[in-house]
Structure 1
Amino acid sequence: MAAIAVDKTPKTSIGDPEQGSQAHNASPSPPFEAFHVPGQQDTVDFGLPWSACFPLGLKASKTLNLSESIGAIKNFAQSGNLSGLIKEHGGAILIRGLPIETPHDYSKVAHAFGFRPHVEQTRESGGATPITSAIYIAHELSRLKPQFLSNLLNKGVKYVYRYTTKPLVSNTGTSVRGAYGQEVRDEDDEATVRRKIEAEVRRHSNRFEWHDDGSLSVTHIVPGATVFFGNVTSAWGRSRHHGATRPTFRGDDGSYHPPPTYGDDTPINVEDLDLLLKLAEEGAVDVEWQKGDLVLLDNYAVMHSRKPWKGHRQVLAALWDDDGRIRDFPEGLELLKDSPRVPRTEFDENEGR
C-alpha cells in the first residue's frame, strides 16, 4: 500500500522566481498558491527519484472573475510552468477556487487549457473521484509480481468492448455513435454511417465485428508500458462486478463484459487481476469535489474512477484529440441541453482572449 506522504506542498505562490524550485522562471506570475490535498502521496513511493506531492493542489490566491481566471490559466500554461509541475507531481493537479458556474463558463476555461475533468454541480454526499498513479502501479507490480509485469510488457493486453446501439450507464459508457460517430450526420444512410464509423474504429483497431442487433465489438491489443497505461483494472472490475467472468460474459445488466486477456489470447491469472484492483484502490487519492473545481490529468500517468453518490452530480470533461485541439462533441451537447448554457460548437477566439 502506498504510504501517505508528509505534506510536501510548496507554501509559496506558484511562479515566484524568488521562492525555490517550484518557480521554473515563470513570467508573468499566475495568482495561484499551493494547498494540501487530504491523502496526498509522495512520488518517492512511486519509485521516482524525487519527492513531490501527488496530486498538487492549487488555489487562487485572490478572488478572480471568469475573464481574469482565463487570463491567468493562459499565462500559466504559456510560461511552461504548468507542464513542468504536472510531470513533477506525478501527472495530476487539482485547481480550486475558479468562478465556474455553467457549462459555457467551463467551455471557455477548457479552451484556455484543456482541463479534465471539472465539476459543475456537486453531489449531496459521496461521489469522490479516486485518482491512482499508474507509475505507482507499475512500481508495485515490479516489486510484488515481476513475472506478471513481464508478461504484460511482452504479450500486451487484449480488450474486447461491445458498444450498444443506445448508451447504457453500466457498460463501457457510450453507444456505437457516441464512441465512433463523430463524423456521422443525421441525413446519412446506413451504409454511410457504417463507413464513417469503421473509419474511426480503424484509427485504433482493425479488429471489429458488427452484430445483428446493430451493436459493435472492437478488439484492442495494446503493449504494456512502464507507467501501466491501460484498462486492465476497469475491464476486470466490470466483469467481476456484473458477474460476467465466464462465457458468454453477459452480465446482470444485459451487457457483455469479457475479462481482459494477454495479447496472444492466453488468460490472465485471476489472482494477478485481483492484485491490480487492490493496488489501484490502495494507491488512490480521493478528490472530494467542490463547486468550480478543475482537475488536470495526464491520462498516461494517472488512472481515475468514481465512487457512488447521492443527489445530482454533473462533471464536465475536455479532452485533447489527436491533433491537439479541444472539440465539442454532439453526444456531450445533447447531455447538456437542460443546462443553463450549452457550450458553443465553435470557440470564439476574440472572446477567449
Structure 2
Amino acid sequence: MAATTVVQTNDTRDGIKTSVAASGENVPSPPFEPFTFQGQKDTKDLGLPWSARFPLALEARAIESIPSAISMLRRFTETGQLRSLASHHGGAILIRGLPIKTPLDYSRVAHALGLSPHIEVGRPPLRTVLAPNVKTANEGPPELPIWPHNEYGWSTINPAWLTFCALKVPASGGATPLTSSIYIATQLEERAPAFLEQLRSRGARYTYRYTTEQLVSNTGNSIRGAYGEHVTDEDDGETFRRKVEAEIRRHSERFEWHDDGSLSVTHVVPAIRIHNPTGLKVFFGNITSAWGRSRYHGATRHPFRGDDGSYHPPPQFGDGSPMDVNDLDTLLNIAEEGAVNVNWEKGDLVIIDNYAVQHSRQPWVGERLVLAALWDDDRGERIGDVPEGLELLRQAPKFPIVQTIET
C-alpha cells in the first residue's frame, strides 16, 4: 500500500481538529492504517457533499493484547476522531486486526468507545446475552437473509450506535451489507418522489406479532422474550399481562391480545428524518426489512402468517393506508443495490451510526458467530425530524430504560 501524505487542518464538522490526507480524506492517527476492500463506495455518490470511502476501513497495527486495544480505542474516542471519522465516512467504520477472541474481549473493547449501553424494549429477534451489553446478533436460521434496516427504526426507542464483532467466520456467505440511509433518501427523491413525500408527511406504521413460545424465525421472539423484563415464573395470567402491557407502553399505546394468546403491538413513527451530524435527510426505519420478510415468507395477505410460523405484516403508512407494492419494491431495491458487503474476518469490529446506516445479513454455510452491542449517545440527539415527524412523535410514548453496565 502506498504511503499516505498527511497534513493538519481544522475541520469544522463536529468542531474537531483532524488529520486530513493530501487527497482531502480524513485519516486517523497511528496505530491505524486505512485500507481498501472491494465494493467500497464514495460518499459523494451516496448524497454527501464530500468524497470519502464508505465505510472507512482501518487496520490496527501492533495491537497484540486486549488492554492495548482498550487503550487505543479510548484515545480514538476521547480525541474526537471516532465521531469525526464516522461523520466524514458516511457513518460506518470497520476496524481489522484487533485481538478479540471471546465475547468478554469484545465487551471490554466496545465499552472503551465510551458509549452508554442501550436497553432493548420489545425485541423481535432471538438474542442471547454472552457478556456485558454483548449479545448474539440474531439467532434466526442461517439460510434466511435479514433485509436492510435501521436498528429499532420501527420504535420510538432506538440506539444511536451499533457495534458488531465476528468471532467465527463461516465457510461461505454471511456478509453484513451496509447501506447509507442518506443514499436511500437521495435515490427515493430521484426514483419515487411521490412515495418519498408520502413517507415524509404520513410516516410509517409497523405491527409486530409475538407468540406465546419462541419460533425458529428471524422475528421469532416470544411475548416474554420481548416484554418480560419484570415477569416471573410465579406470575398468574393477569399479572403477566399487566407487567407486559407496562413495558409495551414505554413505546406504544397500540396493542391487541389475540385468542391464541399471541400479542400484536403497532407503532407509528417518522420514516424520513434529519441526520443531525450532517444536516442531511435520511430514510430511517424498517420498511425495507418488513417488506422483505413479508414478501419472502408469503405473508403479504391477512392474517400475514408466513411459512416459518411467524407473523410478518407488511408496513403501512402511519394513517393505516397500504403502501404501493411497486414503491415498496423500488425502496428495497435501492437499499440492496446501494449496499457494501462486509465480509468478516475473525476479530473484525464494525462501528455503525444507526441513524446514518442500514445493515442486513446474507445467508451462510458453516459456523458463524457475529455478536452485537447496542449503544446510546450521551452527547445529545443525533436524529431530528420534519414538522410532520414531530407531530407523529408527539402522539407516541417514549420511555426508555436507562441503565449503566459495568465491565
Q: TM-score range by the shorter chain?
A: 0.7 to 0.9
Distance 1:39 1:128 in 2: 12
> How far 1:149 moved relative to its partner?
0.1
Match of 1:142 in 2: 189
Match of 2:53 in 1: 53
Aligned AA (1:120): L
Aligned AA (2:307): D
1:278 aligned residue (317, 333, 336): 333
Distance 2:376 2:236 in 1: 26
1:119 aligned residue (162, 166, 176): 166
For the structure 1 residues 11 and 205, does the alpha-carbon distance in structure 2 shift closer, same or farther, using more than 3 Å as the test? Answer: farther
For the structure 1 residues 183 and 36, does the alpha-carbon distance in structure 2 shift closer, same or farther, using more than 3 Å as the test? Answer: farther
Match of 1:241 in 2: 296
Match of 2:66 in 1: 66
After superposition, what is the alpha-carbon deviation per residue over 1:177-202, rounded to whole angstroms, capped at 9, x for unaligned? 22222343445444443333222222
After superposition, what is the alpha-carbon deviation per residue over 1:247-292, rounded to whole angstroms, capped at 9, x for unaligned? 2212112221111111111111100000111111110100000000
CA-atom RMSD, angstroms? 2.7
After superposition, what is the alpha-carbon deviation per residue over 1:151-176, rounded to whole angstroms, capped at 9, x for unaligned? 00001111111112233342424222
Aligned AA (2:326): E
Distance 2:58 2:309 in 1: 42
Aligned AA (1:347): E
Q: SS at 2:72's partner residue?
A: helix
1:304 aligned residue (316, 339, 359): 359
Give aligned-pair identity as a percent: 60
Distance 1:199 1:172 in 2: 22
> Is the 1:12–1:34 Cα contact (8 Å) retained in structure 2?
no
Match of 1:316 in 2: 371
Match of 2:343 in 1: 288
Equivalent residue runs for 1:22-171 within 5 Å: 29=29, 31-113=31-113, 116-171=163-218
For the structure 1 residues 16 and 235, does the alpha-carbon distance in structure 2 shift closer, same or farther, using more than 3 Å as the test? Answer: closer
Q: SS at 1:105's partner residue?
A: helix
> How far 1:74 moved relative to its partner?
1.0
After superposition, what is the alpha-carbon deviation per residue over 1:12-68, rounded to whole angstroms, capped at 9, x for unaligned? 6999858566669x8xx5521211132011111122111111100011122331110
Match of 1:4 in 2: none
TM-score (norm 1): 0.82
Matched residue pairs, number?
318
> Is the 2:215–2:309 Cα contact (8 Å) retained in structure 1?
no
After superposition, what is the alpha-carbon deviation per residue over 1:73-128, rounded to whole angstroms, capped at 9, x for unaligned? 11111111101111111111111111111111111112212551111111111111
Match of 1:181 in 2: 228
Match of 2:159 in 1: none
Distance 1:323 1:300 in 2: 15
- Structure 1: stretches of 5+ with no match in the other structure: 1-6, 325-344, 349-353
Q: SS at 1:295's partner residue?
A: strand
> Is the 1:13–1:33 Cα contact (8 Å) retained in structure 2?
no
Q: SS at 1:212's partner residue?
A: coil
For the structure 1 residues 143 and 53, does the alpha-carbon distance in structure 2 shift closer, same or farther, using more than 3 Å as the test? Answer: same
For the structure 1 residues 298 and 18, does the alpha-carbon distance in structure 2 shift closer, same or farther, using more than 3 Å as the test? Answer: closer
Q: SS at 2:188's partner residue?
A: helix
For the structure 1 residues 169 and 12, does the alpha-carbon distance in structure 2 shift closer, same or farther, using more than 3 Å as the test? Answer: farther
For the structure 1 residues 277 and 18, does the alpha-carbon distance in structure 2 shift closer, same or farther, using more than 3 Å as the test? Answer: closer
Aligned AA (1:100): I
**Residue 306 (structure 2) pairs with residue 232 (structure 1):** no
Larger strand proportion, structure 1 or 2?
Answer: 2
